A and B are shown apart, each in its own frame.
Chain A
Amino acid sequence: MSPAEQPRDKGVARFRTRLFVAMMVIVATLTGLSFYLAQRKVTADAERNLQAIFQTELSSLDKLEELRHAALTDRCNALAAKSRIHAAIEDNAIDLLYPSAKDELRGLMEGEEPPPEQAAQSLQAKFYRFLDSKGAVIKPLNPYDVGKLDAKTEAQLALEKLPDAEQIGYIQENTQAGGGAIDEVIAVPIFSSDSGEVISALVIGFKPLELEDKHTGMKSGIWTNGQLHLPALPRFTQASLNDKLASVLANSDKGENYFRVDVGGAPQLVFYKRLNPDSLFPPAYEICVHPLSYSLAELHRLRWQIGGAGALLLLGGFVASHLVALKLSVPVKKLALDSEENRAGRKRAEAALASTAEELERSTRYSADASHQLKSPVTVFRIGLESLMAREGFKPEIYEELSALLHQTHRLTGVIDELLLLSRMDAGHLQIASTPVDLSQVVDEWLDDLGALPDSPEVKIEKEFPRGLFVAGEKRYTSLIVQNLLENARKYNRPGGRIRVSGCANGNNVMLTVGNTGRTIPPGENIFERFHHSSTPSAASGHGIGLNLARELARLHGGDLRLIRSENDWTEFEVRFSAVDGVNGVA
Chain B
Amino acid sequence: MHLRGLLWLNAVFPILPVALLASAAVEGRVELPKSHSAPVQAKRYQIVTKGGVLSTQPPLAVVYLEGNFPQPVSLPTKQVTQKDLTFIPSLLPVRVGTKVEFPNLDDTYHNIFSYSPAKRFDLGRYRPDERPIPTQVFDKPGLVILRCDIHEHMRGLILVLNTPYFVMTDTNGHFRLDGLPAGHYTLKAWIDSRTTREKPVELKNGETFHVDFP
Interface residues of A (CB under 8 A from B): 81-84, 86-88, 90-93, 96, 192-195
Alpha-carbon separation in the docked complex, A578 to B114 (Å) = 147
A82–B115 touching, CB < 8 Å: no
Known: A82-B152, A83-B148, A83-B149. A195 touches B49 (CB 8 A): yes
Q: B150 contacts which chain A residues (CB < 8 A)? A: 83
A93–B120 touching, CB < 8 Å: yes
Chain B, Cβ-Cβ closest to A91? B115
> Interface range on chain B: under 10, 10 to 19, 20 to 34, or 35 or more?
10 to 19
* The one of A84, A87, A90, A93 that contacts B52, using a Cβ cutoff of 8 Å: A90
Name 13 extra pairs, CB < 8 A, besides A90-B52, A195-B52.
Answer: A81-B152, A82-B149, A83-B149, A83-B150, A84-B149, A87-B113, A90-B49, A91-B145, A93-B120, A96-B120, A193-B152, A193-B153, A194-B48
B147–A83 touching, CB < 8 Å: yes
In the A-B complex, the 3 residue pairs with the smallest Cβ-Cβ separation, listed nearest first, are A93-B115, A87-B115, A83-B152
Alpha-carbon separation in the docked complex, A84 to B52 (Å) = 16
Alpha-carbon separation in the docked complex, A93 to B119 (Å) = 11
Chain A, Cβ-Cβ closest to B151? A83
Alpha-carbon separation in the docked complex, A556 to B24 (Å) = 166
What number of A-B contacts does a CB cutoff of 8 Å give? 48
Q: A87 contacts which chain B residues (CB < 8 A)? A: 113-115, 145, 147
7 pairs across A/B with beta carbons < 8 Å?
A: A82-B149, A83-B152, A86-B152, A87-B114, A93-B115, A93-B117, A195-B52
A84–B115 touching, CB < 8 Å: yes
B72 interfacial by beta-carbon distance below 8 Å: no
Alpha-carbon separation in the docked complex, A96 to B145 (Å) = 15
Q: B151 contacts which chain A residues (CB < 8 A)? A: 83
Chain B, Cβ-Cβ closest to A86? B152
Q: B131 contacts which chain A residues (CB < 8 A)? A: none
Alpha-carbon separation in the docked complex, A82 to B147 (Å) = 11
B114–A194 touching, CB < 8 Å: no
Known: A86-B152, A195-B49. A92 touches B145 (CB 8 A): no
Chain B interface, DSSP helix/strand/loop, else mixed: strand
* Chain A proximity of B155: nearest CB distance (Å): 8
Q: A194 contacts which chain B residues (CB < 8 A)? A: 48-49, 153
B194 interfacial by beta-carbon distance below 8 Å: no
B4 interfacial by beta-carbon distance below 8 Å: no
Q: A86 contacts which chain B residues (CB < 8 A)? A: 147, 152
Q: B145 contacts which chain A residues (CB < 8 A)? A: 87, 90-91
Q: A91 contacts which chain B residues (CB < 8 A)? A: 114-117, 145
Alpha-carbon separation in the docked complex, A86 to B52 (Å) = 11
Give B47-63 interface residues, CB cut-off 8 Å to A: 48-52
Chain A, Cβ-Cβ closest to B148? A83
* The one of B49, B51, B116 that contacts A93, using a Cβ cutoff of 8 Å: B116
B49–A88 touching, CB < 8 Å: no
Q: B148 contacts which chain A residues (CB < 8 A)? A: 83
* Chain B proximity of A306: nearest CB distance (Å): 72
Alpha-carbon separation in the docked complex, A91 to B54 (Å) = 11
**Most interface-central of B51, B120, B145, B152 (chain A CB within 10 A):** B152
* Chain A proximity of B126: nearest CB distance (Å): 16
Chain B, Cβ-Cβ closest to A133? B52
**Most interface-central of B115, B117, B145, B150 (chain A CB within 10 A):** B115
* Chain A proximity of B113: nearest CB distance (Å): 7
Alpha-carbon separation in the docked complex, A91 to B47 (Å) = 15
Give B136-173 interface residues, CB cut-off 8 Å to A: 145, 147-153
* Chain A proximity of B163: nearest CB distance (Å): 24
B152–A96 touching, CB < 8 Å: no
Chain A, Cβ-Cβ closest to B120? A93
* Chain B proximity of A101: nearest CB distance (Å): 13
Q: A96 contacts which chain B residues (CB < 8 A)? A: 115, 120
Alpha-carbon separation in the docked complex, A280 to B127 (Å) = 46
Alpha-carbon separation in the docked complex, A195 to B117 (Å) = 22
Q: A90 contacts which chain B residues (CB < 8 A)? A: 49, 52, 145
Alpha-carbon separation in the docked complex, A81 to B52 (Å) = 16
Q: B113 contacts which chain A residues (CB < 8 A)? A: 83-84, 87
Alpha-carbon separation in the docked complex, A499 to B175 (Å) = 176
Alpha-carbon separation in the docked complex, A81 to B149 (Å) = 10
* Chain A proximity of B108: nearest CB distance (Å): 15
Alpha-carbon separation in the docked complex, A34 to B65 (Å) = 100
**Most interface-central of A84, A91, A193, A195 (chain B CB within 10 A):** A91
Q: A193 contacts which chain B residues (CB < 8 A)? A: 152-153
* The one of B48, B117, B147 that contacts A92, using a Cβ cutoff of 8 Å: B117
Alpha-carbon separation in the docked complex, A121 to B120 (Å) = 40
Alpha-carbon separation in the docked complex, A194 to B54 (Å) = 11
Chain B, Cβ-Cβ closest to A83? B152
Q: B115 contacts which chain A residues (CB < 8 A)? A: 84, 87-88, 91-93, 96
Q: A93 contacts which chain B residues (CB < 8 A)? A: 115-117, 120
* Chain A proximity of B9: nearest CB distance (Å): 26
* Chain B proximity of A91: nearest CB distance (Å): 4
* Chain B proximity of A99: nearest CB distance (Å): 11
Give B67-92 interface residues, CB cut-off 8 Å to A: none
Alpha-carbon separation in the docked complex, A88 to B115 (Å) = 6
Alpha-carbon separation in the docked complex, A193 to B152 (Å) = 8
* Chain B proximity of A350: nearest CB distance (Å): 118
* Chain A proximity of B152: nearest CB distance (Å): 4
* The one of A82, A84, A88, A195 that contacts B51, using a Cβ cutoff of 8 Å: A195
Alpha-carbon separation in the docked complex, A542 to B150 (Å) = 160
Alpha-carbon separation in the docked complex, A86 to B117 (Å) = 14
Alpha-carbon separation in the docked complex, A86 to B151 (Å) = 12
Give B33-59 interface residues, CB cut-off 8 Å to A: 48-52
